[in-house]
Structure 1
Amino acid sequence: MARTSSLMVTSEAFPLAKSGGLGDAVTGLARALSRAGVDTGILMPAYRGVLDRVVGIRHIAHLAGMPGGEATLVGALCPESGLPFYLLCNPGLYDRDGLYLDEQGQPYADNAVRFAALAHAAMRVAAGLPGMRRPDILHAQDWHAGLVPLLVRAAGLRYVKTVLTVHNLAFQGSFELECAGQIGVPGAYCTDDGARLHGRINFMKAGLRYADRITTVSRNYAREIMTPEFGCGLDPLLRARAADLAPIPNGIDDALWNPASDPHLGHLCYSARNPARKSRAKAALQKAFGLHPDQGAALLAMGSRLTSQKMADVAVEALPDALHRHPSLQVAIIGRGERQYEIELEALAARYPGRCAVRIGYDETTAHRLHAGADMLLHGSRFEPFGLTPLYAMRYGAVPIASRVGGMADTIVDPGEREGSQAMLAATGILFDGDGAPDMGHAIDRALRLYAQPAIWRSMQRNGMACEFGWNTAAQPYLDLFENMVDAPRRGRVPAPTIRPAPLPAYARSSLDGMPAPAAY
């Protein structure tokens, strides 16, 4: 019996192209599914430099009549991940410095065309191309691939099933309705019952409306996005499709993020069996960031995008108070984002030399060493579909202090305010509600009280390091989902409610103009 075949359709996949957590998630799941016996491939654009990082390139098809002009589809193997890739080549669309944004940090004006072309390529594969197996499942990742289910439905390809995974609902790929003809979306699908939302064509809504199944990356996020607060205008449609929505938590690459063998740490590696060696990583981090060499100091790290979503505005207000209240507290920050927050954090570092240091930017080595050397990690967020960073922190023995939203509410075990001995048995971190500086400051205070109790703190570190968040855990629910879909007949069209435009949160309003899923550090 032939193995189930799945083709992931994505705008990025590590290590060929990555802006953040989406790229990690796609590759991590693809590898886990492949190990579990699914014939898994990845379809993505051939961005600048991608063809130089793959081997065994073979021509599959010349694709005429595509949005953005003629394109070529090639197959290749990525030696770093061991996965087969199918790369859509159109230099006019993809040969650029950035994946989604121009030099001014603005979305490319033709992003609708760029990612519609990707969806049309997936539909052509589903229809059948010589020399390439037709997949049983087309697995669309986030808004960039949101047109895939619509195009498969419009083409009447009943033998191919579609899944849409929502990584971040706030980023929807919303474009002027007039571009529908240019990107090959039939007019019959550009209605409020179809892909139209707030008078624009919405790639995310297209996927949610026409996919056979929908998945989200955490259980709590699945509940949240069916509410007006987190639904970003799509909660009525999500509630209507609740029976087809499956929360399947993401995983992390537990080989890449392993303090015992992390090449980014070199001689500083350590494990849960010898956590005392983490002190060497702490000393190295203090030296690298210009902090006082004090093992007794509580070293709090923050590594994220410096944006309102990640509560950078709250951090710039809460951290000065925390540094003032706790003379033994040290803070190390890496990240990039809105310039006003970068400036305020740099000013904070100047006020507290030797106790607070900020590096504007991001690189993998510094990120790994930040987790290894930190005692605790601050990760505030107004919404967080999954939350990879706190899991990395736990893996490295850094106790997370995080917002009680999205996947973090599922993965972090908070002992509660009383912090009694029984509650501490399974505790792995601190969660806080609200998005004000007092909320974050109180959570930091709680963490520092626990840090002052070495036995309790070591217990929390051990608990976190022992947690299993690898991708193999996530693979089985997808195996079950794919098996049920392949064996079941295609469902009829799911009735959609009328979507009444409603006021959206500020973060959602700023995200609807074709922005990519945000990077997750």
Structure 2
Amino acid sequence: MKVLFAVSEVAPIIKVGGLGDVAGSLPKALEKLGVDVDVIVPFYSIIKRGDYKIIKQLTIEVPYSGETHDVSVYKTKIPGSNVDVILLFNQRFLSGGGVDAFSSLKDEVARFAFFNKAVVEFIKASFNIYDLIHCNDWHTGLITHLLEEEVGEERPATLLTIHNVSYQGQSSLELVREVDLSIPLHRILQWDLEDNNINFMLEGAASADAVNTVSPSYAKELLFDDIGGQISDILRGRSGRFFGILNGIDNSYFDPEKDRNIKYRFGVRDWKEAKNENKALLQKELSLPVKNVPFVSLISRLDPKQKGLDLLWESLKDILKLDLQFVLLGKGDKKYEEMLANLSKVKKYHEKLSISLGFDEGLARRIYASSDIFLMPSRTEPCGLSQMIAMRYGALPVVHNVGGLKDTVKDGIDGFSFNIFSPNAFLRAVTRAYKLYGSRKWDAMVKNALKNDFSWSKSAKEYKELYKKVIELRK
């Protein structure tokens, strides 16, 4: 079975968010199961060429907006694997981007419209050798339509994975003309364009041979209009071809027993002393007083629509009344960045609060390894990786009981959850964790968290079976 994994980012070559982690891990796990996977991404100018052995393979011609554009095809590998990564370079359309979280801004949508065309031309130049194209999020939503027009009945099967329905990639009718899609050939496209806008995610969900999302609970939630909007209509009509598979994490990458980012490494047997030692070092690093109090953290993109920043902000002063320390690492919404930075300057919080705006992988690992409690009050969460990483490092998560958080955190066993999205419910859950800290039950819960297996091995097997099913559906 030969699969082309089309995606906007792949860690560690280019990583913007959690999608990059998935693209850098799932293909490696599939490779171990005998699936031949190639990953295809834009060749952004910010990719550090010197860090990887990158070889030019060929040049293809891509028709777009009434002109023909040369796209150079390069190849490298995901480090530590035999998985090929195909990098598509075009200075005008594909070199920009890859810096911040991909959004549905006009230039981003145009970039990925061109990327979709280039992927299809690459498939044609590769003599249509793939059995299945695994499309990921709105960035790849037009690939099935384009394959139908360019390859016809001989096209490979397609699977679209919805990683986050909040970002759908919308643009004007003009972009459809630039991509040169034949509107009369696609009924869904005709319907979508009634408002003179095209929605990439909707087109992908409607046209792919099958659709899945990144946790079983989020799959159920997407069937409701208040979560999925128009796409819920599409998914309800495709119930026999819509699935939920939980994401995983790369245990070899997130490994507290071998992690070089932390000084005191640990496992299930020796976590307690090592965590206290790591905590003391981090307290010094962050200019906090060294004291053995619950160490609470949040590592997140500062996205007020999804990540529950309103709950955090409304609860934070009450949380800081408790005898604990709170550390935040993240960047995003400028309003929340300013509010959090200003709060950290208040004198009475100097010994209790540390705000680090930006992202630093090494610091993130040290925070995970030092934390006792990890906050994740997301309004919605398709899967979430941070809660899995936190548990891998012995930090008990406090989560809103939705999506992938619901599928991974067991209240009172390896974490804490709250059902009502409100500041009071969130604060009660944090207080429950705070009161339990240091008890025998706490220690047992930490051990449970450390013993969890969120590796990709189980999920990769499910994806392999889904690939087989989708290929059969296409025949």
Fold equivalence (TM over 0.5): yes
One-letter amino acid matched to 2:92: G
Q: CA deviation at 1:233?
A: 2.5
Alignment check: 8 A CA contact 2:71 2:118 kept: no
1:486 matched to 2:471: yes
Distance 1:193 1:455, change over 3 A: farther
Shifted more, 140-149 versus 58-67: the winner is 58-67
Unaligned runs of 5+ in 1: 416-426, 491-521
**Partner SS state of residue 407, structure 1:** helix
Equivalent residue for 2:200? 203
Alignment check: 8 A CA contact 2:42 2:95 kept: no
Q: CA separation in 2, counterparts of 1:147 and 1:11?
A: 14
1:299 matched to 2:333: no
One-letter amino acid matched to 1:466: K
1:149 matched to 2:135: no
Q: CA separation in 2, counterparts of 1:203 and 1:95?
A: 21
Alignment check: 8 A CA contact 1:54 1:76 kept: no
Equivalent residue for 1:12? 9
1:340 matched to 2:326: no
Distance 1:456 1:84, change over 3 A: same
**Over residues 484-506 of structure 1, what are the superposed CA-to-partner deviations in whole Å (9 max), with x where a residue is unaligned?**
3334444xxxxxxxxxxxxxxxx
1:280 matched to 2:266: no
1:440 matched to 2:430: no
Distance 1:470 1:118, change over 3 A: same
Q: CA separation in 1, counterparts of 2:76 and 2:164?
A: 28
Q: CA deviation at 1:106?
A: 7.9
Alignment check: 8 A CA contact 2:189 2:203 kept: no
**Partner SS state of residue 177, structure 2:** coil
Distance 1:362 1:129, change over 3 A: same
The aligned runs of 1:59-458 (5 Å cut-off) are: 59-66=57-64, 69-78=68-77, 80-82=79-81, 83-96=83-96, 98-99=97-98, 109-129=106-126, 134-155=129-150, 156-188=152-184, 189=186, 195-196=192-193, 198-265=195-262, 267-276=263-272, 277-295=274-292, 297-308=293-304, 309-324=306-321, 326=322, 328-351=323-346, 352-415=349-412, 427-452=413-438, 454-458=439-443
Unaligned runs of 5+ in 2: none
Q: CA separation in 2, counterparts of 1:347 and 1:101?
A: 23
One-letter amino acid matched to 1:168: N
1:57 matched to 2:43: no
Shifted more, 135-144 versus 302-311: the winner is 302-311
One-letter amino acid matched to 1:329: L
Q: CA separation in 2, counterparts of 1:407 and 1:196?
A: 33
Alignment check: 8 A CA contact 2:62 2:118 kept: no
Q: CA separation in 2, counterparts of 1:397 and 1:100?
A: 31
Q: CA deviation at 1:114?
A: 1.3
Distance 1:344 1:115, change over 3 A: same
**Partner SS state of residue 264, structure 1:** coil
Q: CA deviation at 1:113?
A: 2.5
One-letter amino acid matched to 2:61: L
Q: CA deviation at 1:56?
A: 5.0
**Partner SS state of residue 181, structure 1:** helix
Distance 1:300 1:442, change over 3 A: same
**Partner SS state of residue 305, structure 1:** strand
Q: 1:22 aligns with which of 15, 19, 24?
A: 19
Alignment check: 8 A CA contact 1:330 1:356 kept: yes
**Over residues 436-483 of structure 1, what are the superposed CA-to-partner deviations in whole Å (9 max), with x where a residue is unaligned?**
22121111111112115x211111111011011101111111111122
**Identity score, percent:** 30
TM-score, normalising length: structure 2 = 0.93
Q: CA separation in 2, counterparts of 1:142 and 1:107?
A: 12
Distance 1:319 1:33, change over 3 A: same
Structure possessing the higher relative contact order (Cα contacts under 8 Å, 6 or more residues apart): 1
One-letter amino acid matched to 1:298: P
One-letter amino acid matched to 1:74: V
Alignment check: 8 A CA contact 1:258 1:395 kept: yes
**Partner SS state of residue 178, structure 2:** coil
Alignment check: 8 A CA contact 1:137 1:161 kept: yes
Distance 1:197 1:26, change over 3 A: farther
Q: CA separation in 2, counterparts of 1:250 and 1:483?
A: 19
**Partner SS state of residue 11, structure 2:** coil
Q: CA separation in 1, counterparts of 2:217 and 2:366?
A: 30
The structure in which a higher percent of residues are helix is 2
Q: CA deviation at 1:434?
A: 2.7
TM-score, normalising length: structure 1 = 0.85
Distance 1:177 1:345, change over 3 A: same
Moved over 6 A (4+): none
Q: CA deviation at 1:136?
A: 0.5
Q: How many residues align?
A: 466
One-letter amino acid matched to 1:87: L
**Over residues 157-194 of structure 1, what are the superposed CA-to-partner deviations in whole Å (9 max), with x where a residue is unaligned?**
43410000000011000101222101222222375665
Q: CA deviation at 1:337?
A: 1.8
Alignment check: 8 A CA contact 1:228 1:235 kept: yes
Alignment check: 8 A CA contact 2:4 2:37 kept: yes
Q: CA deviation at 1:332?
A: 0.8
